[in-house]
């Protein structure tokens, strides 16, 4: 399935509009479901971590149609994350928390098609990071 860039961007915009603290909700979900992940985030304060994630998500959304940028940027990000001790299974935890936070924020606009697009997009991101 090809990514529907418009659908991804519009659902992201809805999520941010309805929940400006989307990344805070993401971390709440992640740590509720996987408290063992919390020590990986000790280098930065929670608000700083939320801000870095927000900036990364916005950058990816801005570059969805720029494959060279995505590949270079996400490969480098993946290398840094490996250095922090992030393992492949942890990416599944993150994907689950991200999709949950986006779904909650999108509310009635969330659909199986939107969910499928986010899962596919996140899978592509993980592939570039590994």
pLDDT digits (tens, 9 = 90+) for 38-84: 998 877 889 999 999 999 999 999 999 999 999 999 999 999 999 99
Average pLDDT of the chain? 95
Residue 1 has pLDDT above 70, yes or no: no
Domains of the chain: 5-129 (1.10.490.10)
CA 20: distance to chain centroid? 15
pLDDT digits (tens, 9 = 90+) for 108-121: 999 999 999 999 99
Closest CA to 100 of 52, 31, 46: 31
pTM score of the predicted model: 0.94
């Amino acid at each position: 399935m090809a990514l529907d860039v418009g659908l991804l961007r519009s659902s992201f915009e809805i999520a941010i509009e309805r929940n400006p603290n989307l990344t805070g909700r993401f971390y709440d979900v992640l740590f509720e479901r996987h408290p063992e992940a919390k020590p990986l985030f000790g280098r930065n304060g929670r608000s700083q971590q939320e801000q870095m994630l927000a900036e990364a998500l916005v950058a990816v959304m801005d570059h969805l149609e720029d494959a060279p940028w995505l590949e270079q940027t996400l490969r480098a990000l993946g290398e840094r994350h490996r250095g922090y001790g992030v393992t492949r299974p942890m990416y599944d935890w993150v994907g689950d928390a991200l999709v949950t936070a986006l779904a909650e924020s999108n509310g009635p606009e969330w659909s199986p098609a939107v969910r499928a697009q986010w899962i596919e997009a996140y899978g592509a991101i993980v592939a570039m990071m590994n």
